[in-house]
Amino acid sequence: MPVRHKNVLAGFGVVCVLGVAGISVALAAANHEVLEADKKFSAKTLEISVGDTVTFVNNDSIKHNITIKKMKFNSGLQEPGRDVEVMFDKNGKFKVRCGIHPKMKLKVVVN
Ligand SMILES: [Cu+2]
């Protein structure tokens, strides 16, 4: 069973409102989708903002296993057709790998 991280949805409710010279700007977390197909991620690099989520969609007919060492994240086995959602709450560069297929590589840059 893939691990689902639905608790990150709570983050969507957080809206930061900044009042600058009478102008209000609302910032909300974004979600980014990365596909896994032909034993590859659909992007090599992904640039996102702190608080954003990334949804990894397994479009292959085989299992994957999303790991992010720096975050001590391991999705467990990700069955075909299943999603894994990860929230990035710290800035930095994160290497996303598949624990089964060493050639699957994605770098997430969190600003
Ligand atoms: Cu894989």
Q: What is the CATH number of the domain that holds 67?
A: 2.60.40.420
Q: For residue 80, tell me if it sits in a domain.
A: yes
Domain with 39, as residue range(s), is 6-110
* Residue 11 tokens, joined: 């983050």
pLDDT digits (tens, 9 = 90+) for 48-98: 999 999 999 999 999 999 999 999 999 999 999 999 999 999 999 999 999
- 24 CA from centroid of ligand 1 (Å): 43
Amino acid identity, residue 53?
T
Q: How is residue 42 written in tokens?
A: 């659909």
Asked whether residue 1 is domain-assigned, the answer is: no
Domain count within the chain:
1
From the CA of 49, how far away is ligand 1's center (Å)? Answer: 25
What's the pLDDT score for residue 26?
A: 55
**61 occurs within a structural domain:** yes
Is residue 106 included in any domain, yes or no? yes
Interatomic CA distance for residues 26 and 28, integer angstroms: 7
Rounded (10°) CA dihedral 64, 69, 70, 72: 90
Q: Does some domain include residue 85?
A: yes
Model pTM? 0.76
Report the sign of the C-alpha dihedral through residues 32, 40, 74, 3, in that order: positive
102: CA distance to ligand 1 center in Å? 8
Cα-to-chain-centroid distance, residue 41: 12
Q: Measured in angstroms, how far is the CA atom of residue 76 from the centroid of ligand 1?
A: 11
The pLDDT confidence band at residue 28, using thresholds 50, 70 and 90, is confident
